[in-house]
Structure 1
Amino acid sequence: MQATEKITGNQLGFLIFTFIISTNLLTVPSFMVMFGKQDAWLSALIAPITGVVCILVMIELAKRYPGQTITQYSSKILGKGLGKLVAANYVYYWFVSITTITMQHTGFISTLLLPTSPTLIISLTFLVICGLAAQLGIEAIARSTEFLTVLLLVFFIPLLILTIKEANFNEIKPILSGGIYPVLQGAVNPAGGFMNQLFILGWLLPYLNQPKAARKVSFIALSGITLLSVSIVSLTIMIFGPLTSKLTYSFLSVVQYIGIEGSFERLEAIAVSTWVIGCFVKVSVSMFILSLCVSQLFGLRNYRSLIYPLTLLSLVGSFWIFKNSAELLNYTAFTFPLLGFINQSLIPILLLLIDSIRKKGTRSMVQ
């Protein structure tokens, strides 16, 4: 832990917002419509409920163990052996997350912008930039995110406004024609894999200079994520209807459609810019957290010395873990929600439950 590194409440809110919405922008609508059909916008309203639980759990744990990350206080709650196992599990989780996002980013850029460029070069340059940001520390990442988030919204909100003109509200009817079950299915992917990423609070709260502001800024960020996610999903369905589930980058297709039908051309460049900004913030924060997890697992004082080796390993992993885009799509649609639920929700809830039982037992023995 670097005592000199501190972030403000506003910076924490921007980090949470951009970290989560970055992957929601272009890919989540297709996953939600795959299950929720035309009611997927209702799924986007339900999914944040798990985010609320996640915020409350992580803030409560941070209050009980101030100045410590989840990989540190897990050893105090579970004992050294099990605590180290939890830390090792999070090392694996964040490593896979970084490699997954890198492969998504590389596939996106190579498909749309640089089809003749070697994917190795695209991945390498992206990871090097993210590694440099992580090397500078969470304070530098948070300050850059303040500017980048505003830039992302300045780019993206006009696209939403242009989309409304082409929207067909009949595409979201009839509402709940298949009952509530498909809606809940559609909420599983963003709930398990994206909304619960608010558990990054377990590593960011020790750096917050105003701990009391954590709850407020986290809920404000979650509200912004929910509003934008519902808007994106709804407008995508209103443009493409059932076809949404078959599109890899569904909202990008919406943007391209607007460019064809309207007076503006090459609007996808704006969507690509928002994607790059979001992925940069997400991987930079993930790389910082991964280096923290490794340093705390092995008792190292300086996490920065690990960033470059981890960046190299992440580059290797982005080509080794998934053989092709089909495997990646299958992982993000079906495997990651379960993996996300276990790591982002189940483990923190169990830690809080076990800690509460232990403290209650200790008070009973004292009395």
Structure 2
Amino acid sequence: MDKEYISSQQYLLLLAGYGVGTSMLLVPTILVQYAKQGAFLSTAFAFIPSIAIAIFLSSLNKMYPGQSLVQYSAAILGVPGKILALLFIWFAFHLSALVLRNIGNFVNLTMLAETPTPIVYLIVVAITAFALLAGLETAGRAMSLLMFLAILISAILLIFTLPNADFSNMLPPLGNGWFSILKGSIYLSSFPVGEFLLFGMIIFKIKDSQHTTMSFIHGQLLAALIGTSIFLQVITILGPERASRSVMAIVSTLNSIQGSNLLLIPFALTWFIFAIIKFYICYYAFIVGFAHWAEMDDYRPLVLPGGALIICIAIILFKGIGEHQNFNMVYWPAYSLPFEYGIPLLLWLAAGLKILVQGRRP
């Protein structure tokens, strides 16, 4: 199971695709509600906790090379580490269902309104399960190629939409003030920045492991650059007031300009690539994490039953998009932050203390 490896470049692109993921639909609306024009500063401040995650995971990977987060949790803390790993697996599972739900919402709202949502879930899980069964190395190469295409289309969309921009919408630059900017950065720290925790299941798979920290940071920077370009389109074209009332601000932005029917097709393709990459990482972390926790030799027997379980939870999670949006904005930061930063921080401190105590023994 652990003989598959990816390059640092593939790792970087997976990080970037994961970081953009479904957040390109949800984050602009929520962030503009918090910070208005100050959303750009919120993005900058959110980069601080992203560096912390990179340091935690890279340091733990150096202390316990060749082991996933689930494996070295038990090595560091023993039985409590197994419980901590189980919490991580739950988080990966829950996030998988949420991402799948986001994909279903987008497809139903913009393209296939008459198609039952469970059918959309089934198709997405089937595609991702096929990639999981093919292995991380094969999926990493394929998704890296798709990322180049997605980045290219994103750049073309930016070029086509900016002539409709009104840059006076970016004033005042502080929006609702520093407190609202801080609230926006805290939200970004939980979604999508803190969700990079799931790369604790992949970081040990990099061939040239000495470049893990910089690849992690560069991948986050690329995701932040793509995200900033989306905020720029949303705020300058829609304005902060309209953007804050939109369910999916970037879709409303594209719909508000001439030729929107032509632009929505490449946008949907780009978003689907980003979303599938994110769902793949979440699905992979859940399945492989449970396989490592149960000390199984291969994760593949878990792929199909795990996918079926994710579909079931995605169906029953929320009654509608409004309830889902409310959960994302109100409850997600308080729920996710202890998982996203508490788990790696606890493991990092415990591992450092363990090494320090062992080093002092005669």
1:299 maps to which residue? 295
Check conservation: 2:31, 2:184, Cα contact below 8 A: yes
1:264 to partner: Cα distance: 6.3
CA distance 1:139–1:338, shift in 2 (3 Å): farther
**SS of the residue 1:218 aligns to:** helix
How do 1:64-143 residues align onto structure 2 when only pairs under 5 Å count?
A: 64-79=63-78, 81-143=79-141
Is the partner of 2:25 in helix, strand or coil? coil
Alignment map for 1:1-367 (pairs within 5 Å): 1-3=1-3, 5-79=4-78, 81-176=79-174, 178-241=176-239, 242-258=241-257, 260=258, 265-366=261-362
Distance 2:96 2:147 in 1: 20
Could you tell me how far apart the structure 2 residues matched to 1:187 and 1:69 are? 29
Deviation at 1:303, TM superposition (A): 0.6
Q: 1:171 to 1:282 in 2, by over 3 A?
A: same
Query: What amino acid does structure 1 have at the position aligned with 2:193?
Result: M
Between stretches 84-93 and 60-69, larger displacement belongs to 84-93
Contact 2:32-2:244 at 8 Å conserved across structures: yes
Task: Tell me if structure 2 keeps the 8 A contact 1:141–1:281.
Answer: no
- Cα separation, partners in 2 of 1:308 and 1:357, compared to 1, 3 Å: same
The superposition leaves residues 269-319 of structure 1 with CA deviations (integer Å, 9 ceiling, x where unpaired) of: 111111211111111222111111111121211111100000111111111
* TM-score (norm: length of structure 1): 0.94
State the identity as a percent.
24
Paired with 1:253 and 1:264, the residues of 2 have a C-alpha distance of 10
Checking the alignment, whether the CA contact within 8 Å between 1:58 and 1:348 is kept in structure 2 is yes
In 2, Cα distance between the equivalents of 1:9 and 1:267? 33
Q: Note if contact 1:38-1:237 (Cα within 8 Å) is conserved in structure 2.
A: yes
- Indicate the SS of the match to 1:266: helix
How far residue 123 of structure 1 moved from its aligned partner, in angstroms, is 1.1
* Aligned CA distance change for structure 1 residues 238 and 69 (closer, same or farther; 3 Å): same
Alpha-carbon distance in structure 1 between the residues aligned to 2:207 and 2:57: 17
How far residue 15 of structure 1 moved from its aligned partner, in angstroms, is: 0.6
Q: Is the 8 A contact 1:102 1:123 kept in 2?
A: yes
Distance 1:26 1:178 in 2: 22
Q: How many Å separate the matches in 1 of 2:176 and 2:131? A: 47
**One-letter amino acid matched to 1:348:** P
What do residues 305-350 of structure 1 show as CA deviations (whole Å, max 9, x unaligned)? 1000001111111111222222211222222223332222221011
Q: Would you say the 8 A contact 2:21–2:276 is kept in 1? A: no
Once residues 365 and 297 of structure 1 are traced to their aligned partners in structure 2, the CA distance between those partners, rounded to angstroms, is 30
After superposition, what is the alpha-carbon deviation per residue over 1:26-48, rounded to whole angstroms, capped at 9, x for unaligned? Answer: 22111111110121111112112
| Residues in 2 aligned to 1:265 and 1:296: alpha-carbon distance in whole angstroms | 46
- Give the total of aligned pairs: 361
Query: Secondary structure of the equivalent of 2:319?
Result: coil
SS of residue in 1 equivalent to 2:5:
coil
1:177 shift after superposition: 5.5
Quick one: which amino acid aligns to residue 203 of structure 2? L
Distance in 2 (alpha carbons) for counterparts of 1:169 and 1:22:
26
Q: Is the 8 A contact 2:19 2:220 kept in 1?
A: no
Long gaps (5+) in structure 1: none
**In 2: Cα distance, 1:8 partner to 1:319 partner:** 36
What's the C-alpha RMSD, in Å, of the aligned pairs? Answer: 1.5
Distance 1:284 1:276 in 2: 12
Change in CA separation of 1:296 and 1:213 when aligned onto 2, cut-off 3 Å? same
Say if 1:45 and 1:230, in contact at 8 Å, map to a contact too: no
Q: Deviations over 1:168-190 (max 9, x none)?
A: 11112112264311101111222
Q: What amino acid sits opposite 1:24 in the alignment?
A: S
Separation (CA, whole Å) in 1 of partners of 2:261 and 2:301: 45
Query: Any gaps of 5 or more consecutive residues in structure 2?
Result: none
Q: Is the 8 A contact 2:35 2:175 kept in 1?
A: no
Residue 339 of structure 1 aligns with an amino acid whose one-letter code is Y
